[in-house]
Structure 1
Amino acid sequence: MNHFKRFRNVSLYNVVFIFFLIFFLHCRVNPNPKGSLLDPLSQEGIIPSLLLNDFINNVSIRNWTTFVFSPFGTTDPTDSVVFDQISPTIYAIYIRNSNLQTGLYSITGGTTYYQLGVLINNTNTNIFGAFTGRFQLSNYNSLDNGLNWNSSVTIPGFCMVKYNGTSAYILGDGFVNRTTDSGVSTNTLTSSPAYPSRTSGSCLFANGKAYLLGGKNGSGYLFDFWESTDGINWALITERVKQTSGGGINRPCNNIQYSNDISVLGLVYSTVTTYKFYVIFNNLSLLQSNDGKTWTCSNPNINFYSGFNSIANRAILIGKRLYVYGQPENAYTDLE
């Protein structure tokens, strides 16, 4: 009987100790560990790094590489970067909210930029379209690649979804407008879109559809996913984008499972990789899906601080390489 009690006590201690390691130590292997790997009480110690990571957390790990160079410099965490693509060049619009100075950049390789034109004052940090022969902001336009800017009638909304060289949907809080003349004029498609009220969101056009992911409203952040073929009728794909497989225990992927404080840094669509949709979070957790309903999550191999707490558009896809621009860190990963 005494042997049984001793065994039961030892087993209980072991269980408690294992749960302590799982939930109070952040079980992630750091490729550049701080301190000794032999320290079992360090979050990078040999027990959590080897035993827990390899045995308990047998999950997908994605390799990310950080890079320093960015045309954006040291930015305010509320700054917004809105990208639009004219193949093979990616045009980026950069807004510094602190002084409303807007710089237009050309990007060709993810880390190579040059400034187009001159800085201007722009009051809307979300509207940008690189149309054929015309750059359109919310209240300015340029016909010469940003060398000169002309005042325009203000275009409201939180994102412009371009679907051809001259046309785009303009999504807003309680409306969807459209332009078919590169932003010269707009008309209302609907004043009661099916998606709930919001003042921000990640948008893109792909596969003949406009997509809207998440955003922010008066109650907090949203993580719903919507699609539309005409800008008028919107169908809900899922109420919350979250992992249905992958993740592990106490890993970055789990941090995005139910938390409403985790930010989305971007939504991209690929036609050259196994998965089609990719959602990037501010801790570099990457959700991947083919239908927008079932998502697989991969954990990053590095600790990453984006500096952002919002639903933003700060990710671009060039070929199979995905770039994420944070503050102050930037990173990229090869999807395949």
Structure 2
Amino acid sequence: MSLPTTSRQYSLPQLGSLNNLVLQPVSVNPPKSHEVLVKTRAVSLQFRDLMVCSGTYPGDIPPNIVPCSDMAGEVIAVGDEVKDWKKGDRVCANFFLDKLHAEMTAAIAETALGGAIDGVLTEYRTFPAHSLVAIPDHLSYEEASTLPCAALTAYNALLSGSDQLKGGDTVLVQGTGGVSIFALQFAVASGATVIATSSSDEKLKVAAKLGAKHVINYKTTPEWDKEVLKVTNGLGVDHIIEVGGSSTLQLSMSALKIGGSINIVGFVGGAAPPVDIVFWSIRKSLKHRGIYVGSVAQFKDMNKLLIANPETTRPVIDKVFTFEEAKAAFGHLQSQAHVGKVVIKL
């Protein structure tokens, strides 16, 4: 069977709007000796992808960027020196192609898909063999496409580093987006108690069904930190998945226990007045950790957790769109009507 010579892919000839996405054919080159050619089967979307489209993502974006970082696909060809992969293997690419272990460098940061370099919203793409991770057998391509950013960020936040989650801990997750839902699932699978916040009672019902013991609507309870302290008998929580950024950071630090950990993974709440981080950090001996996805090694470790807890950790997909409906998929994510992940199927 001959290899494809062209691939349809989306790119952004101009930043500023998701409506600027253009679908066009491009050439496909055979894999080099150390590369793997993959047929994309599914792509999941991130809030970051919206920022790239709008031109608000920090840093320099290459001209005519191909967006999106998270994919699952099928190996269709390997380079001469590749030993670990073969045709037909099901794989995901790591968010940072060259982040193999814990070390992070400026050079590794320049291998971030869909930002520093072209992403995965394309029918075919080559990857360095070392950047790929096998998909657990029990997951579909659509489910697996949600793992590289949302799941791995949640795993890195809670189950790696010096202050790892343990059974009996209390975890607060903000909202019901991809990272927060995975954090909820990983915490439940690890024997922790989960508190979830959202602006929607309907979304909170989903969180409760997934195992959240306490749910708080932050629209009707704007001082949700006080409610968190109430349900934890004044102690506060051990870990917080902070996705709001500066708009929620003050409340998060108030809701943490003395010595608790705040894992900063996003800033979907936008800009807000300055927060007195120094005061709260000293007063509560808090541990702050910025989480920027994860490594290939962590991805493999996370997959062990998924395999051991297949139902508890099964990815939550809100809606699946076709490749031709990519703009509509971005629009659905932008509406914030989703719970879990928005996926594009190829």
Give the TM-score, by structure 1 length. Answer: 0.29
Higher strand share: 1
TM-score (norm 2): 0.28
Question: Which structure is richer in relative contact order (CA contacts within 8 A, separation 6 or more)?
Answer: 2
Query: Higher Cα Rg: structure 1 or 2?
Result: 1
Would you tell me which structure has more helix in proportion to its own residues? Answer: 2
